Structure 1
Amino acid sequence: MTVEQRSNLLRQPGPPEPVPHVDPPRASDPCFSEVVPHHARLISLYDQAIFSEGPTWWTARNILVWSDIEGRRVLGWHPDGCVRVVIDATPFINGNTVDRDGNLVHCEHGNRRLSRTAPDGTYTALVETFDGRRFNAPNDVVCAADGALWFSDPTYGLRLPKQGVLDVSDLGHHSVYRFDPADDSVRRMADLGQPNGLAFAPDGRILYVSDTSRTEGGDGHTIYAFAVGEDASLGERRIFAEIEPGFPDGFRVDRRGWIWTSSEAGVQVFSAEGHRLGLIPTPQVCSNCCFGPGEARLFITSKQHLYALDLTAA
């Protein structure tokens, strides 16, 4: 092991830790148990972060990456169990995704922009203004099938000094944007109270976006669905689900079209029709989740923790 490898090592290789005193998964529909068996149990992969968010599987490096926003690091869990620092001293990176070229794309609260890290570590700033004004604090990002990056832009990074830099909004609105790296164009797609998590249906024809304005005295604890047109325009929003308890921070859509969303109680799962299928309880408030290769494992971020739960592959 090199000096550099030792310096960024946070957890030695080894097996995960069991999570005691947590309820088993609860099915509201029999089909849930076919994917999340009742005997499935959470395991702890890491427990020394400060505020975990933004998990995504980075195939190019064969690691699960996630953000410790308040610790100002992007961390990487390796299949042998070790955890290493992927990016140190970050500008309060929150959401992450992987683009069509295998690069890791970040939402930066501190610099109020999107950025990109290539598999070889090369860093590039992507976009930081709309109509000549700085974004609020990009929060979550997803890559569409055509390579465009869709991202949410609430104001949490402007109001929470542990997660950004105190400032006022230059824009005066909280929006969802579409950034096309092919021509560097930016389109304002929708406005919400505090837009947060976002994900596409498997066929790309529906965009789901959460509004978490309940966190600041509003009533948003809702996942909305928008029809996506051939020209990438959005139709009228409709309520897909209202999340109780808590709110839908980050979420993912699987190949079945099921929505797996964070909540105060854990990961709640809904069918594509909006029917509640089940719950995976977590010991602390869940912030986000994502799938590993083949959707055989669910990774869950929750305060200082990175958890995992093995699923029954379809």
Structure 2
Amino acid sequence: MALTAAAQHNLFDTFSKPKLVSDQFAFTEGCSVAKNGDVFFTDQPNDKIWKYEVETGKLSVFLDKAGRSNGTYFDKKGNLITCADEKGELWSVSPKGKVTVLMTSLEGKQMNGPNDIWIDKKGGIYMTDPYYQRDYWTRKITELDGEHVYYLPKGAKTPIKVIGDMRQPNGIVGTPDGKYLYVSDLGAQKTYRYTINSDASLSGKTLLFNQGSDGMTLDERGNIYITGKGVTIYSPEGKKIANIPNTDNWTGNVVFAGKNRDILFITASKCVYVLKMNVRGVE
């Protein structure tokens, strides 16, 4: 069924399977694409950020001792913004690996564990903050009143709550025109679309589909790529189009890579994969 739908939409060659790049990791996450098309991704249990050069296939460690970074996103200056959930912080990592801490707390209280981010045209950061107990934490309970979605204006130190009614927010991505924000409530297995207002607040909450997601990305047709059991693709209207399976238990994140943004890069537990696509990404 999924292959038939994919063939109709011509998103990828349905006879091709994702190609294994490497299986040397503990748990891969947080993949983001640099301006030249290379991919940076995290291996949180091993506390590293890796770089994958798409044109050559070369893998290398970009940053060791990465604050247990999870989700990442590049800003306009080429800095890699990371969800450093060891201490509930947001970091900015320069192309040379210099770390600047952007956010340390919410009014003196530690964040649950910044998980995934998306940066708007103003340089503001939308951030999901679920609570997943880590074995490297000394704390056992949250300091906050729940698991919410926040916005950190450019240059600010304190995030603003913009969504407060989710069970466990996780995957997040916005449209290139800055009109809409997609947010997954992984705990409730639902994904919503919001209208982004001029003051960065959100309105017009709309349920798109009854499936949650760990990581998310978009293609040039506006299709939404979500993760979990493989990569599932939905139309902008919320209709399921296709599923790209893999052999691992969990797919954490996905991004379009390469100089033409037509290589789907997939982080899947101990492995990372690539798949040639017939559409391009827009992140």
Q: Does the TM-score normalized on the shorter chain lie above 0.5?
A: yes
Q: Does 1:168 align with 2:141?
A: yes
- 1:56 to 1:165, Cα distance in 2 relative to 1, 3 A: farther
Residue 236 of structure 1 deviates from its aligned partner by 4.0
The alignment of Structure 1 onto Structure 2 pairs a total of residues equal to 276
- State how far apart, in whole Å, the 2-side matches of 1:178 and 1:248 are: 20
Residue 165 of structure 1 deviates from its aligned partner by 4.8
Do 2:151 and 2:160's aligned partners in 1 also have CA atoms closer than 8 Å? Answer: yes
Residue 108 of structure 1 deviates from its aligned partner by 1.0
Residue 183 of structure 1 deviates from its aligned partner by 4.2
- 1:56 to 1:27, Cα distance in 2 relative to 1, 3 A: farther
Counterpart of 2:232 in structure 1 is 268
**What SS is found at the alignment partner of 1:70?**
helix
Q: Does 1:251 align with 2:185?
A: no
CA displacement, residues 76-108 of structure 1 (integer Å, 9 cap, x when unaligned): 112312211111122211001001211000001
- State how far apart, in whole Å, the 2-side matches of 1:166 and 1:140 are: 21
Residue 260 of structure 1 deviates from its aligned partner by 0.5
Counterpart of 1:71 in structure 2 is 46
Q: Does 1:208 align with 2:165?
A: no
CA displacement, residues 197-228 of structure 1 (integer Å, 9 cap, x when unaligned): 10012322111111122xxxxxx111111111
Counterpart of 1:241 in structure 2 is 209
Rg: which structure is higher?
A: 1
Q: Work out which of the residue numbers 195, 199, 217 in structure 2 matches 1:231.
A: 199
- Equivalent position amino acid for 2:103 in 1: V
- Equivalent position amino acid for 1:190 in 2: I
Which stretches of structure 1, 4 residues or longer, exceed 4 Å deviation after superposition?
A: none
Q: Work out which of the residue numbers 123, 129, 133 in structure 1 matches 2:105.
A: 129
RMSD of equivalent CA atoms: 1.9
- State how far apart, in whole Å, the 2-side matches of 1:298 and 1:249 are: 16
**What SS is found at the alignment partner of 2:176?**
coil
Q: Does 1:28 align with 2:1?
A: no
Counterpart of 1:287 in structure 2 is 252
- State how far apart, in whole Å, the 1-side matches of 2:204 and 2:279 are: 34
Paired residues for 1:3-18 under 5 Å: none
- Equivalent position amino acid for 1:170 in 2: E
CA displacement, residues 255-299 of structure 1 (integer Å, 9 cap, x when unaligned): 2211001022x1110110111111111111211100114331100
Residue 251 of structure 1 deviates from its aligned partner by 1.0
Bigger mean CA offset, 176-185 vs 191-200: 176-185
Do 2:216 and 2:225's aligned partners in 1 also have CA atoms closer than 8 Å? Answer: yes
- State how far apart, in whole Å, the 2-side matches of 1:160 and 1:121 are: 25
Q: Work out which of the residue numbers 120, 124, 135 in structure 1 matches 2:96.
A: 120
CA displacement, residues 39-81 of structure 1 (integer Å, 9 cap, x when unaligned): 2321111110000100111226x52111101111111112312
TM-score with structure 1 setting the length: 0.83
**What SS is found at the alignment partner of 1:28?**
helix
Residue 29 of structure 1 deviates from its aligned partner by 5.6
Counterpart of 1:140 in structure 2 is 116
Do 1:176 and 1:188's aligned partners in 2 also have CA atoms closer than 8 Å? Answer: yes
TM-score with structure 2 setting the length: 0.91
- State how far apart, in whole Å, the 2-side matches of 1:232 and 1:294 are: 30
Counterpart of 1:306 in structure 2 is 272
- State how far apart, in whole Å, the 1-side matches of 2:2 and 2:263 are: 14
- 1:104 to 1:165, Cα distance in 2 relative to 1, 3 A: farther
Q: Does 1:190 align with 2:163?
A: yes
**What SS is found at the alignment partner of 1:286?**
coil
What residue ranges of structure 1 are gaps of 5+ in the alignment?
1-23, 214-219
Counterpart of 1:19 in structure 2 is none
- State how far apart, in whole Å, the 2-side matches of 1:226 and 1:294 are: 29
- Equivalent position amino acid for 2:74 in 1: V
What residue ranges of structure 2 are gaps of 5+ in the alignment?
none
Identical residues among aligned pairs (%): 26
**What SS is found at the alignment partner of 1:294?**
coil
- State how far apart, in whole Å, the 1-side matches of 2:4 and 2:244 are: 9
